[in-house]
Amino acid sequence: MTTQQLQTINGIDIKEVNELIAAISQDATQGQMAFNATTTWVEGVRSISRIKSLEWAGQSYDRDFTLTIDEPEELGGTNLGPNPQEVLLSALNACLMATFVDLCSLQGIELEQVEISSTGKLDLRGFLKLDAAIPAGYQDLHWILKVKGNATADRFQQVYDAALSASPNVWNLRYPIGIKPQLQVEE
pLDDT tens per residue, range 82-96:
999 999 999 999 999
- Cβ 69 vs Cβ 87: under 8 Å: yes
38 is a domain residue: no
Q: What is the pLDDT of residue 52?
A: 97
Q: Which ranges in 10-150 belong to alpha helices (H)?
A: 14-26, 84-106, 124-127
Residue 21: Cβ within 10 Å count: 13
Q: In the chain, how many domains are there?
A: 1
Domain residue limits at 117: 82-175
48 is a domain residue: no
User: Structure pTM?
Assistant: 0.91
- Cβ 71 vs Cβ 94: under 8 Å: no
Q: What is the pLDDT of residue 6?
A: 59
Q: What is the pLDDT of residue 165?
A: 97
Q: What is the pLDDT of residue 2?
A: 45
88 is a domain residue: yes
Q: Which residues of the chain have pLDDT under 70?
A: 1-6
164 is a domain residue: yes
Q: What is the pLDDT of residue 176?
A: 84
Cβ density class 81-100: b for 16+ within 10 Å, e for less: bbbeebebbeebbebbbebb
Question: What does the alpha-carbon distance between residue 143 and residue 145 come to, in Å, rounded to a whole number?
Answer: 7
pLDDT digits (tens, 9 = 90+) for 152-177: 999 999 999 999 999 999 999 999 89
- Cβ 120 vs Cβ 143: under 8 Å: no
Q: In angstroms, how far is CA 93 from the centroid of its own chain?
A: 6
Question: What does the alpha-carbon distance between residue 82 and residue 73 come to, in Å, rounded to a whole number?
Answer: 11
Q: Is 49 helix (H, G, I), strand (E, B) or coil?
A: strand
Here the CATH number for the domain that contains residue 98 is 3.30.300.20
